Amino acid sequence: MRFITLLSVFACVVISFPLFDIVPEWSVNTFSLFRGNGCQDRLLKLGPDEYRLASEKEKLALKKANKRFIDMTEQIPIEVAVEQGLIVKPTHSFLQKLFFIGSKQIKTLEKPIPVYNYPKKTKYNSEVKSLYDLINIDGVYENLSNFTSFYTRYYKTESGAESATWLYDQISELIASFKDISIKKVHHKGWNQFSIIVSIPGEVKDKVVVAAHQDSANLILPNLMRAPGADDDGSGTVTTLESLRLILEAYGKGTYKPYNTLEFHWYSAEEGGLLGSIDVFSRYYKANEVVVGMLQQDMTGYTQGSIDAGVEPHFGLIEDYTSIELNNFLKLIIKTYNSIPYHSSECGYACSDHASALENGYPSSFLIESEMKYSNKYIHSVMDTIDRIDFDHVKEHVKLTVAFAYELSLAKKLH
Ligand SMILES: *[C@@H]1O[C@H](CO)[C@@H](O)[C@H](O)[C@H]1NC(C)=O
Ligand SMILES: *[C@@H]1O[C@H](CO)[C@@H](O)[C@H](O)[C@H]1NC(C)=O
Ligand SMILES: [Zn+2]
């Protein structure tokens, strides 16, 4: 027994050491033979009132079993989680030594979500629709092809950091001639792939956010195996990129200048438990930033599931754990601007980065390529490739994003 305990301490320390983060999964598995539940040093939130500790290996197993969560480790010290009764005290004494040295400060967990007066009618129909002629689907294809050519965009890998740099360079070039538009790398503690934020300042600081996640993951061996991530979420990434390009066309001509500050976000490490976005929105919360609406798009290009089921292509509007009011605004936008309808769907707690906005008291919505049951089954594997992407569908998401961003960024009297 004693021998095993000693080994488990050793394994825990070795594996959580950043340098050793690239240890292949098999060796983690081998170690874990000796360490029972292993190094449960991550605090996961699996539902509004459901927290638990988990090891990296257990995180992966949860994801494979389709259980979603926010990894709250950097937001709530484990000590505080215990004090607040969110989890029971870890039983391993070494864990207590390692983690019971954090701050004593109690974090407010309940962040009320304000209700804003979103527009009940659209106002810029001809302005927005005139931008649709400029959508360049060949360019979108090229960029997605390039983005999926990175071996993996897993947040802990070198190529994951390189793909972020590639994306950053594309966006930088795009906004280069606009002096007042900023681009920022948000570096996260513990891994190298950064998140990206583009901000078009409005007359007021209230923010409208459109977002996607840039990382991909092969859930069998994330550190080792290829993960093209064409749909998840390369499609959302290029949808957001093309939408920014179109908005800038109007901005450059001087026909559009936002009233609210308009931001475009590309998060790192969604697949690690919304790690990038929870960092971004927690920082916003601490800085007293106001976000009047956040739209996440994670998977925008797969229609084969609908087609096979004999169902018309449609958006999946996620109606659980999202803002009812913002969803209503989204329904108005879809009805006004799109040639496909939405179907209501649900995806459970924390299924994408909109949950990080909500967690910090910001209303958010999540629009996906279809109802969950028809969505892409090839994600998180080598098979999530560009040939499975329907670019007419991506185009509908671009139209939606541009309209959402345009209308909401110009909306006044939201408070
Ligand atoms: C990729 O996207 C950027 C930004 O929208 C754009 O400037 C560029 O032309 C696109 N690449 C191609 C090959 O179309
Ligand atoms: C990706 O983009 C880079 C820089 O923009 C370019 O040099 C490279 O040829 C592209 N690769 C692919 C596979 O499209
Ligand atoms: Zn995703």
pLDDT tens, 288-334? 999 999 999 999 999 999 999 999 999 999 999 999 999 999 999 99
Of 145, 146, 174, best ligand 2 pocket probe by most atoms within 8 Å of the beta carbon: 146
Q: Which is more confidently placed, 225 or 108? A: 225
Return the sign of the alpha-carbon dihedral for residues 56, 62, 64, 66. negative
In our burial notation (b when 16+ CB lie closer than 10 A, e otherwise), range 373-390 reads ebbbebbbbeebebebbb
- From CA 400, how far away is CA 415, in angstroms rounded? 24
Q: Which is more confidently placed, 66 or 295? A: 295
Task: Write the CB contacts of 176 (distance below 8 Å, at least 6 apart in sequence).
Answer: none
Return residues with CB closer than 5 A to ligand 3 (ion): 232-233, 298
d(CA 106, ligand 2 centre) in Å: 47
Nearest to 237 by CA among 275, 274, 195: 195
Ligand 2 pocket, residue 149 CB under 6 Å: yes
Ligand 2 pocket, residue 145 CB under 6 Å: yes
Structure tokens of 97?
Answer: 């030594």
Tell me which of 232, 233, 371, 384 is the catalytic residue. Answer: 232
- From CA 247, how far away is CA 252, in angstroms rounded? 9
In percent, the amount of the chain with pLDDT more than 90 equals 77
Structure tokens of 238?
Answer: 């290029």
* 186-244 pLDDT tens trace: 999 999 999 999 999 999 999 999 999 999 999 999 999 999 999 999 999 999 999 99
**Confidence band for 129, pLDDT divided at 50, 70 and 90:** very high
Domains assigned to the chain: 1-40 (no CATH), 42-110 (no CATH), 125-409 (3.40.630.10)
21 is catalytic: no
Q: At what angle do helices 56-64 and 25-34 cross, to 10 degrees?
A: 110
415 is catalytic: no
Q: Where are the alpha helices (DSSP H) in 17-114?
A: 25-34, 56-64, 78-83, 93-99
- Residue 263 forms beta bridges with which residues? 199, 209
Model confidence, pTM: 0.85
In the predicted model, what is the mean pLDDT of the chain? Answer: 88
d(CA 205, ligand 1 centre) in Å: 29
- Residue 195 forms beta bridges with which residues? 186
Per the listing, tokens 């064409």 go with 230
Q: What is the pLDDT of residue 28?
A: 38
> Are 396 and 303 in contact, with CB atoms under 8 Å apart?
no
Per the listing, tokens 């209503």 go with 328
CA-nearest residue, atom 1 of ligand 2: 146
d(CA 271, ligand 3 centre) in Å: 7
Q: What is the largest CA-CA distance in the chain?
A: 74
- Residue 295 forms beta bridges with which residues? 210, 365
Q: Is residue 49 classed as helix, strand or coil in its secondary structure?
A: coil
CA-nearest residue, atom 7 of ligand 2: 146
CA-nearest residue, atom 14 of ligand 1: 139
Q: Where are the alpha helices (DSSP H) in 84-216?
A: 93-99, 125-132, 137-148, 158-175
- The stretch 40-46 carries a mean pLDDT of 91
Q: What is the pLDDT of residue 16?
A: 40
* 134-143 pLDDT tens trace: 999 999 999 9
